[in-house]
Amino acid sequence: MTLTTEAGHAGSSRRRPAPGRPVPVSTYRLQLGADLTLDDVVERVPYLADLGVTHLYLSPVLTAAPGSTHGYDVVDHSEISPVLGGREALARLRAAADERGLGMIVDIVPNHMAVPTPAWHNRELWSVLAEGAESPYANWFDVDWSAGDGALLMPVLGDRIGAVIASGDLTLERMVVPGHEDAGEVDVLRYFDHVFPVRADTVALPLSELVNRQHYRLAFWRVADEELNYRRFFDVGTLAAIRVEDPEVFDASHALILELVEDGTFDGLRIDHPDGLADPTGYLARLNEKSGGAWVAVEKILAGEEELPADWDTVGTTGYEALWRLQSTFVDPGGASPLAAVMHRIAGDTPDELPHLVDAAKREIVDGALYAEVHRLTELAAGICRDDLRLRDHTWRALEHCLIELLVAFDRYRAYVVPGEEVHRDSVEAMLAAARIARGRLSADRQETLEVLVDLLLGREAGSAGLTRGRRRDELVVRFQQTCGAVMAKGVEDTAFYRWTHDIGLCEVGGEPAQFAFSPEEFHHFAARAQWQTPVGMTTLSTHDTKRGEDTRARLGVLSELPVEWSRLVDDLRAATGAYRTTLVDGRTENIVWQTLAGTWSEHGPIEAERLEQYLLKAMREAKSRTQWTAPDEAYESAVIDLATRAIADPAVVALFEEWVQRASAGVRAATLGTKLVQLTLPGVADVYQGTEVPQLTLVDPDNRRYIDHTVLADRLERLDQGANPSDLADEKLLVTSRALRVRRDLPGTFVGAHAGYVPLAASTGHLFAFTRTDDGAPQVVTLATRLAIGLDRLGGWAGHTVALPEGRWRDVLSGRVVDGGVQPIAPLLEKLPVALFVRHEEA
- In the prediction, which pLDDT does 7 show? 40
Q: What percent of the chain has pLDDT over 70?
A: 98
- What does the pLDDT average to over 714-736? 97
Residue 262 has pLDDT above 50, yes or no: yes
**Distance in angstroms (rounded) separating the CA atoms of residues 789 and 592:** 25
The b-or-e profile of 746-780 (16+ CB within 10 A means b, else e) is ebbbbbbbbbbbbbbbebeeebbbbbbbbbeeebb
Preceding omega of 118 cis (within 30 degrees of 0): yes
Residue 473 has pLDDT above 80, yes or no: yes
Helix (H) or strand (E) holding 371: helix 371-386
CATH topology of domain 119-241: Maltooligosyl trehalose synthase, domain 2 (3.30.1590)
Confidence band, pLDDT 50/70/90 cuts, at residue 485: very high
- In the prediction, which pLDDT does 148 show? 63
Distance of CA 40 to the CA centre of its chain: 25
SS3 431: helix
- In the prediction, which pLDDT does 149 show? 74
- What does the pLDDT average to over 190-199? 96
DSSP character for 767? T
Residue-wise DSSP of 178-243: TT-GGG-EEEEEEETTEEEE--GGGTTS-HHHHHHTSSEEEEEGGGHHHH--B-EETTEEEEEEB-
Residue 283 has pLDDT above 70, yes or no: yes
- Check: pTM over 0.85? Answer yes or no: yes
Contacts of 713 (CB under 8 A, 6+ apart): 47, 691, 693, 694, 734
Do strands 216-220 and 194-197 pair parallel, antiparallel, or not at all (unpaired)? unpaired
- What does the pLDDT average to over 735-739? 98
Instruction: List pLDDT tens digits, range 490-535.
Output: 999 999 999 999 999 999 999 999 999 999 999 999 999 999 999 9
- In the prediction, which pLDDT does 842 show? 79
Residue type, 460: R
SS (H, E, C) 528-587: HHHHHHCCCCEECCCCCCCCECHHHHHHHHHHHCCHHHHHHHHHHHHHHCCCCCCCCCCH
Residues of the chain with CATH 3.20.20.80: 3-111+244-318
Distance of CA 444 to the CA centre of its chain: 40
Confidence band, pLDDT 50/70/90 cuts, at residue 2: low
SS (H, E, C) 44-55: HHHHHHHHCCCE
CATH of domain 3-111+244-318: 3.20.20.80
29: β partners: 57, 689
DSSP character for 174? E
Instruction: List pLDDT tens digits, range 403-456.
Output: 999 999 999 999 899 999 999 999 999 999 999 999 999 999 999 999 999 999
The b-or-e profile of 83-96 (16+ CB within 10 A means b, else e) is bbbbbebbeebbeb
- What does the pLDDT average to over 347-366? 96
Residue 191 has pLDDT above 50, yes or no: yes
**Distance in angstroms (rounded) separating the CA atoms of residues 364 and 487:** 10
Q: How many CB atoms lie within 10 A of CB 528?
A: 16
Q: Are 549 and 698 in contact (CB under 8 A)?
A: yes
Q: What percent of the chain has pLDDT over 90?
A: 91
Backbone phi and psi for residue 787, each to the nearest 5 degrees, phi listed first: -105, 140
Residues of the chain with CATH 3.30.1590.10: 119-241
Q: Are 166 and 175 in contact (CB under 8 A)?
A: no
How many CA within 13 A on the CB side of residue 148?
Answer: 28
Surface-to-core class of residue 222, CB atoms within 10 Å of its CB (0-12 exposed, 13-18 middle, 19+ buried): middle
Residue 118 has pLDDT above 80, yes or no: yes
SS3 429: helix
Question: What do you get for the CA distance between the two ends of the chain, in Å?
Answer: 25
- In the prediction, which pLDDT does 225 show? 82
**Distance in angstroms (rounded) separating the CA atoms of residues 221 and 154:** 8
Contacts of 99 (CB under 8 A, 6+ apart): 45
Helix ranges restricted to H, 609-695: 609-623, 634-647, 651-681
Surface-to-core class of residue 521, CB atoms within 10 Å of its CB (0-12 exposed, 13-18 middle, 19+ buried): exposed
Residue 477 has pLDDT above 80, yes or no: yes
Interhelix angle 729-746/38-51, nearest 10 degrees? 80
**Distance in angstroms (rounded) separating the CA atoms of residues 558 and 546:** 19
DSSP character for 36? B
Confidence band, pLDDT 50/70/90 cuts, at residue 844: very low
The b-or-e profile of 605-628 (16+ CB within 10 A means b, else e) is ebbeeebbbbbbbbbbbbbbbbbb
**CA-wise closest residue to 202 among 216, 191, 192:** 216
Q: Are 60 and 114 in contact (CB under 8 A)?
A: no
Instruction: List pLDDT tens digits, range 317-339.
Output: 999 999 999 999 999 999 999 99
Go through the chain and tell me how many residues it has: 844
**Distance in angstroms (rounded) separating the CA atoms of residues 122 and 128:** 10
- In the prediction, which pLDDT does 229 show? 81
Helix (H) or strand (E) holding 409: helix 396-409
Long-range (24+ apart) CB contacts under 8 A made by 163-172 are 164/191, 164/218, 165/207, 165/208, 165/211, 170/207, 170/211, 170/218, 172/198, 172/203, 172/207, 172/210
DSSP character for 415? -
- In the prediction, which pLDDT does 843 show? 63
Residue 8 has pLDDT above 50, yes or no: no
**Distance in angstroms (rounded) separating the CA atoms of residues 480 and 374:** 9
**CA-wise closest residue to 22 among 109, 107, 104:** 104
Average pLDDT, the chain: 95
